[in-house]
Amino acid sequence: MTKRQQAMVDSYRKATATSLREVYFSWSMKKEQAFDRCRAIQYELSGHDGRICSANSYQFTYAFLYEQDGKQYMCYRTASNEYRFCIEEG
């Protein structure tokens, strides 16, 4: 696992928010659409335990776990990128 991937895993483990309501008082339609897209991808991958890892007035990051080939993976989405990587050693 790279240092960047480890930082994403650490951010995920510290996060507790699971909905926009937990990080924003109000939000734009674009944020809601982005969040819905994150949840749709999570559903497509049979993912679980989705969390908002960071948020500011402009954007948020979202991550969830999923299984592939018997191993646990993470999908970490930012405003401009999506990262998918195995989080199991070995």
pLDDT in tens, 37-65: 999 999 999 999 999 999 999 999 999 99
8 A C-beta contact, residue 72 and residue 65: yes
8 A C-beta contact, residue 58 and residue 72: no
- Give pLDDT, residue 88: 82
Cα angle: 10, vertex 14, 20; to 5 degrees: 120
| pLDDT classification of 90: cutoffs 50, 70, 90 | low
